[in-house]
Each structure stands twice: as structure tokens, then as C-alpha cells.
A and B are shown apart, each in its own frame.
Chain A
Amino acid sequence: MATFTGKVWVLGDDIDTDIIIPTEYLALPTVEDMKPYGFSPLRPELAGQIEEGDIIVAGKNFGCGSSREQAPEIIKALKVSCVIAKSYARIFFRNSINNGLLLIENDQIQDAVKEGDTLTVTLGETIEHDGTTYPIHSLPDNLMDIINAGGLVKAMQKRNGIIK
């Protein structure tokens, strides 16, 4: 079972897609170009501070709002290993899976963790923080297959070979 450790960034409830990537930057040519503006309405400096393998911990309804797929794409481009939130908005949830971004649901860790702490995630089993472990569920196999393949398009390639 895959285990990874990362530094935590703490965000609140109802982090919407306009916060994750504001409309005005959607016209930029690539996700790499948009990346510096991730979360900018809320915390303009955050995108520059996030390092590979970091973990975002947030409250309820993460990713609410528009269907823009650039939202999970940017979080993935920032090389965040996973998002842990109390709950996710449904379009964002589907888009994250389709783009290979790992989402974990847990509603206890938010009270324990503070920014800069370190968490260890064992997929489908637990989150460990400061000696305490919190149980987490695994996603259904068909969805994990998509995430592990790196997204829906790549999963289609593996399954039926219609992808280059």
C-alpha cells in the first residue's frame, strides 16, 4: 500500500473554483502559465510557496462552483500529493479523478493539524499526524484505476487503445 509524507497547507470551507483559478487567467495558454495564480484571490503568495509532495487540508465543499477543469489541473501542476477535505463538490470530484488528482475525505484531521505540520498518508487506510492515526476510505477500484493511470484519457488508452 502506497505511503507518503507531506507538509500541510491549511485552507477553510467552500474553497471555490474561482479561488483555485480566477476566470481572468483561464485564457492563458497552458496550466503551467496559470499555476502562479492558483488560490490568488485568497492567498496570492501560496502558489509560490507550495512544494512538491505538499498536502492541502481543507474544510467542507472543496472545489464548489464552476466546471472548469483547470482547477484540479493546477493543484496537480503544483505537485500537491493529495487534497484532504471534509467533503468535495461533485463536479470538482469527477474532474479531479479524470485528471489524476488524489482526493481524500476526512472530517477529523482539520481540528488537529496546523499549517506547516507533517502528515503521513497510507492510501486507503490511515492518515497519521503527531502520533494519532485517522482512518480513511479507499476510492472504488474503477476510480483508483483512473487516478493511477494519470487521468481518464490515459485510462482510456490503457483500456481500449484508442489513445495515441
Chain B
Amino acid sequence: MGMTIGEKIIARAAGVESVKAGDIQTVTLDRLMSNDGTTHLTVDMYNNKLKNPRIADKDKIVFIMDHNVPAENPKTAEAHKKMRNFAKEHGIVLYEGQGVCHQIMLEDWVCPGEIIFGADSHTCSYGALGAFGTGVGCTDLLYAIVTGKSWVLVPETIRFNLHGKLREGVYPRDLILTIIGDIGANGANYKVMEFAGDGAHNLSINDRMVLCNLCVEAGAKSGIVEPDEKVVEYCAEHGREAKADQMFVSDDDATFAAVYEYDLSKIEPVVARPDFVDDVIPLSECPKVKIDQAFLGSCNNGRIDDLRVAANILKGKKVSDEVRFIVAPASNAVYLEALEEGIMDTLMEAGAQIMNANCSVCWGSCQGVIGENEVLISTGTRNFKGRAGHPSSKVYLGSAETVTKAAITGYING
């Protein structure tokens, strides 16, 4: 009986020959990630609820402060202190203000074939490098920190065969929003979304990050692109080795819950309307919507490619007087690259506000929060009711190009 990529990774981590969807397996986790959204809660439980607590393997844990950095109020500062002190006390690696957690994990840690738990829903991003990343709550993470293990229900896999290439002006963001619009916000609930075919291999690693990152918005446990030579190169460029025996691909006789075919050349620019990520319509059919703010950034679209798109469009132009255009690079590595290329000069001259590398507007808590009845167009991950501020405010999601153009004209599709 053949296995999918997800099944192969779980079988390896469980130390068994084979698994099939529906099995419950205990796996040894390869890495654990926790950010400042919830680490203080995990630390509280560890310190106050456990008797003789211990950490199974501190070298597998990565702490990243990205949600509220630098701290915006004394409560956050205390939560950060707790996280910082715990990391120091236990010798856990800590990143503070270096970028969004998933971007840092992909730049510095993730290897193909690994299974990684992160206390953040967008941990599914790690499939860009052929790993099985999944989001958990802080109690699951605590259990994993203490035991080094966790149980997983082996998920079914939905296979997406991608063909060809995206047209000029169409982005992986448009592709994944289109897919989510097609299958719905729970279309892949509990399942792995696996991407393969020549179209998947045509995508860069950065493109694959965009794709896998948003899989949780269709309910998926993980998103995984079939790993190839580009993954090996990416890992080598970032100072680590992709092990040949962990470059898993699905067997020909693997069982899929469903198989979809997508011709990438037919994908067009889209937007997700408030308040649901699966309420997706072609940009061309979107009525002209006046906006108050535009945001470029997040673990979905704060990478160098996105900043380049914005700079190319903004060169010699100005952000509308009616719009705040907020840009947050996904990591300091991205930020430095953008500085070197002169991108930040272009964006600032056009009137953009550049933030430090963090979750920023996407998290709706510390930067660029929007007010009553305001409208935001964003490359962030979600457009739920009140996600970016006041409950009456509205969030549209789109690609870096769609967002930047709206920042100039003051209108979506205007």
C-alpha cells in the first residue's frame, strides 16, 4: 500500500514501517516553535502546574518574539520578560524582533521530511521545504516540550496537481486564494494539502511558502509541496543539509481523499472579501472599494519578491493622500536585502511607512490597527470580522500588486 508525503513523514517520526490515514500515532517531534502570542502561557503552566518539570530536548525548541515586538504595553513587556528568562534559564534559542516566526523557521531551521509543531496556526508553512508543520495550542506544545512527543491522527491527503506557470501580474497569493475559494474554509479540514506536478516545481521556494502558509485557511493540518532540487539548494544556501532520505514524495499507489488539477496559466488576480478568506472573487469583478489603509507584509507576503513588486509599481509614484500604506518585511534578512536593492528608498519616497520585521497589521494588536468602519486591503493571512481592529472595520485580502495599486489610487480595483 503506497503512502503520501504526509504519511511517510509521520511513519518516519513514529518509527514504523507504514501508516495510513485514520491511524493514531505517537511521533517524536523534530522541532518545536513557540512565539510571544502564547509562550508566556506555556511557561506559566510549566512553572506552576508541573511537578519536577523537565525539557525533553532543549535543542529542538525555538522561541521567536514576533507578534508584539517591540512590546507595546507593560503587560506585553512582562510576557516577553517571562519568555526571555525561560529561554535563558533553559538554554533555548530565542529570536527577538528578527522577523515573523515562520519566515525565521524557514530561513534557519526547517528541513525536508521533518515533523514540526508550532504554537501558531500558520506553522503549516513549513511544507514549502517538504516538511510537515502543523499548528497546535500551548497545552499541546507544553506536552511536546516535556515529553518530546505527541499524538497525531494521520490525516488524509488532498492532492493538487499544478500545471504550467502563472501569468505576468498573477501571484501565488492569487493561486492559493483561488484554491481556498474553490474548496471552502473547511474544504481541507484535518487534511494535508499536497502540491505536485510541473507547475509546483516551477514555483520558487518563496512562492511555495505563500502556498503552504495559507493552507490552514482551508482548515488543513499541513500544506506540503513535493520537495525537489530547489529545496536542496535553498537549504544549502541557508547553511544546512537536506537529507536525501527525507525528500519524501507520494507513491504512485498512494490514496488521496481527492485530486484536483489546476492550470496555473488560467489563474487570475483575486481578492477575498470581508469577513471570510474563502469569499474569493476575481479582482476584475470586485466593485471599486475606497480604502483607508493598505498593508504589505506578514508570513504570507512580506518577502523580498513582494517588496520588489511594490517598489516596481511605486517607482516615481505616490501613495494616495487618503491612504496609510504600511510595509513590514517578514524578517531582518528580507529587510537588509531590500535596503541593499534600494527598495526601501523607493517605498519611503512614495510615502509608505516602514515597520520593523514583525507580524504587524496582520495580527491586529500592536501596529496599524484600523478604526470604526475603516477599510483595509492587506496581504495578511486573515480577514475575519474585526481581525485588524474595530469590529465594524473591513479587511480585503489580495496580492502585493493588488495591495500596492490600491495604495496609489485609494481604491481596490480603482
Contacts and interface: CB of A to CB of B under 8 A. Distances in A.
Interface string B368-384: 01000000000000101
Contact of B365 (A16, A24, A29, A142): A24
Contacts of B119: 67
A69 B41 contact: yes
A61 B219 contact: yes
Given A26-B37, A164-B48, 19 more contacts: A14-B186, A19-B386, A23-B387, A40-B391, A44-B391, A61-B186, A61-B189, A67-B120, A67-B135, A68-B38, A69-B138, A91-B216, A94-B137, A95-B139, A98-B140, A142-B24, A162-B53, A163-B51, A164-B49
A146 to B, nearest CB: 10
B323 to A, nearest CB: 23
A109 B194 CA distance: 34
B65 to A, nearest CB: 14
A18 B219 contact: no
A22 interface: yes
B186 A64 contact: yes
Nearest to A154: B49
23 contacts: A14-B186, A18-B364, A18-B386, A22-B391, A23-B363, A41-B385, A41-B386, A64-B219, A66-B37, A69-B137, A89-B219, A90-B219, A91-B121, A91-B136, A95-B137, A153-B139, A153-B142, A162-B50, A162-B51, A163-B51, A164-B48, A164-B50, A164-B51
A26 B38 CA distance: 9
B190 interface: yes
A94 B140 contact: yes
Contacts, number: 122
Q: Interface of chain B, helix or strand or loop or mixed?
A: loop
Interface string A130-154: 0000000000101000000001110
A64 B186 CA distance: 8
Find the residue from A27, A42, A44, A66 having the highest chain B CB count within 10 A.
Answer: A66
Interface in B25-64: 37-38, 41, 45, 48-53
Interface of B: 24, 37-38, 41, 45, 48-53, 73, 75-76, 79, 119-121, 135-140, 142-143, 146, 185-186, 189-190, 216, 219, 221, 276, 363-365, 369, 382, 384-387, 391
Given A18-B384, A18-B386, A90-B221, A152 B189 contact: no
A140 B37 CA distance: 31
Q: Interface of chain A, helix or strand or loop or mixed?
A: loop
Given A41-B391, A61-B189, A153-B49, A67 B136 contact: yes
A90 B142 CA distance: 18
Interface string A77-115: 000000000010111001100110000000000000000
A61 B276 CA distance: 12
Given A23-B387, A163-B51, A164-B49, A67 B365 contact: no
B139 A66 contact: no
Q: Which 10 A-B pairs have the closest CB atoms?
A: A95-B137, A61-B186, A69-B137, A41-B391, A41-B386, A98-B139, A18-B384, A67-B135, A67-B121, A164-B51
